[in-house]
Homo-oligomer: A and B are copies of this chain.
Amino acid sequence: MSFRQARHEEPLTFEMAYCEVGESMPVPDGLLPANLVRKDVPCIPKLSEREMVRHFTALSQMNYGVDSGFYPLGSCTMKYGPKINEELASLPKAADIHPLQPEETVQGTLQILYELQNMLATITGMDAVSLQPAAGAQGEFTGLLIARAFHEKNGEERTEVVLPDTSHGTNPASAVMAGFNVVTIPSKDGRVDLDALSAAVSEKTAAFMLTNPNTLGIFESQVLEIAKIMHDAGALLYYDGANVNAIMGKTTPGKMEFDIVHLNLHKTFSTPHGGGGPGSGPVCVKERFAGFLPVPVVAKKGEGYSLNYDIPDSIGKVHGFYGNWGVMLRAYAYILMNGRDGLTEAAERAVLNSNYLKKLVERFLVVPYSGLRKHEFVASGSSLKEKGVRTMDVAKRLIDYGFHPPTVYFPLLIEEALMIEPTETEVKYTLDKFAEALASIVKESPEILHNAPQNASVKRVNETEAAKKLILTYRDYLEDIE
């Protein structure tokens, strides 16, 4: 007996029911000027509640989440999120609060946000916090806008952001969105190459973006030297906090002399990833950048709390309201529940799991760079190339064993990369099983691997065809089959 994902013959909703387009459903006279009236009823088929629920239930069974099994997607921290968080976030007093309610009617929410700001300041070792960015990437964008405003205020025109080749794709993309040119420096032995860094830094450098531990899972032990290089050059050190899960209770970006930090609440602080989102990417800064944070920041006001818009150098806003409150509330509950010891233990267990699994995987796959890892490690599938097997084949085959594959082909400096982050919520039993599966996959025939997966709801998906045909809606589909 082995894993097999459910398979349901689910049509599209458009194929299950018909649109009422043709039916006359006039807009009452005089309700709108005639030239504004929509003639047709939108072609959205209506399902009964039974049909709708059954449809999405079937679809859900053809999807895989952390609650379905091991999901070692490197860099994404797919840890289990306690169910209590979901219940709290759906309480009417949390979910049905309107963002424009008068302050005195949202004191509960403001108190939680205020306390969360303080908790995150403690966890990061920073001084001031904005909870507004709606995801990690937006945190980066916000942080870089702050850096930009800071330099501008100082009358400096700094146009470049430097980052290592191991950095996450959002880092360069955010830098560009914030108006910077990107300078990528190569790594050395899996860490920042200090010489390359020194060479790249100049009076044009606005900031260096780094995640520590980096995306190879390696701790950048020379971080204080890096900080010195940057600060000596008048540039800032930006911390991509996606990997804070590995260091809670051991060190902080503040202590490592970073200037600006973003966190991914949906990673370290357990919000389920929702099939892609929502997330939350707070920005934490040292005192001298506090005046640049987005408005509003939650402040204490007498006995109560208020939204403070009075931030002189504020960059303004990056979200229509205050960011993803629903995610912040979950993070707040998670931090409360774990407390200082719980968070520290989470980091410890995450790192233990990662090093243990690395040890197992090293028996049959190369894991470039020796030494300790933090929350994740990157193995290379390059040894399989000679038998015509790519890392993607290994990934697809892992599906047949009931595991979600790791992140593949990233970071780019590792050939045929498999980036594995077990997280602290997994137990040894699962890690052993995963390593066993990987070990046997490595030995399997290319045929098997090329034809994987066999046990998912579909066989290997033709992504090339998708990009060529571009069927992006039901209407596209109807045109295509004509």
- Assess whether A382 is interfacial by the CB under 8 Å rule: no
Q: Does A188 contact B (CB under 8 A)?
A: no
Q: Which of A4-12, A143-151, A320-328, A355-363 contacts B (4 or more CB under 8 A)?
A: A4-12
Number of copies of this protein chain within its complex: 2
Stretch at the interface among A48-56, A176-184, A230-238: A48-56
Give Cα A54 to B81, complex, Å. Answer: 12
A-B contacts besides A1-B9, A4-B4, A50-B425, 15 pairs, CB < 8 Å: A1-B7, A2-B9, A4-B6, A8-B69, A48-B425, A48-B427, A49-B80, A49-B83, A50-B66, A50-B426, A53-B67, A54-B80, A57-B67, A57-B68, A58-B69
Q: With A49-B83, A429-B16 in contact, do A402 and B8 touch (Cβ < 8 Å)?
A: yes
Q: Mark A275-318, 1 if CB is under 8 A from B, else 0.
A: 00000000000000000000000000000000000000000000
A61 at the interface (CB under 8 A from B): yes
Task: Please measure, in the bound complex, the distance between the C-alpha atom of A427 and the C-alpha atom of B57, giving whole angstroms.
Answer: 17
Instruction: Tell me how far the C-beta of A422 lies from the nearest C-beta in chain B, rounded to whole angstroms.
Output: 12
Tell me how far the C-beta of A162 lies from the nearest C-beta in chain B, rounded to whole angstroms: 39
Residue A14 interfacial (CB < 8 Å): no
Contact with B along A69-91 (1 / 0, CB 8 A): 10000000000101100000000
Pairwise interchain contact B61-A80, C-beta atoms closer than 8 A: no
Q: Give 6 closest A-B pairs by Cβ, nearest first.
A: A50-B80, A6-B6, A4-B7, A50-B425, A57-B67, A54-B67
A61 and B6 contact, CB distance less than 8 A: yes
Residue of B nearest to A8 (CB): B3
Q: A2-B9, A8-B3 are in contact. Are A53 and B68 (CB under 8 A)?
A: no
List the B side residues contacting A7 at CB < 8 Å: 1-4
Shortest distance between the CB of A85 and any CB in chain B (Å): 11
- The secondary structure that dominates the A interface is loop
User: A5 CA to B457 CA in the complex, in Å?
Assistant: 10
Q: How far in angstroms is the closest Cβ of chain B from A10?
A: 10
Q: In whole angstroms, how far apart are the Cα atoms of A3 and B457 in the complex?
A: 10
Report B-chain residues with C-beta under 8 Å of the C-beta of A53. 67, 80, 83
User: Complex: how many Å from CA A83 to CA B50?
Assistant: 9
B2-A402 in contact (CB<8A): no
Residue of A50, A82, A402, A429 ringed by the most chain B CB atoms within 10 A: A50
CA distance A67 to B6 in the complex (A): 14
Shortest CB distance A319–B (Å)? 30
Q: Report the minimal beta-carbon distance from A341 to chain B, rounded to whole angstroms.
A: 17
Interface string of A134-178 (1 = CB under 8 A from B): 000000000000000000000000000000000000000000000
For residue A16, which residues in chain B have a CB less than 8 angstroms away from its CB? 429
Chain B residue nearest to A11 (CB atoms) is: B429
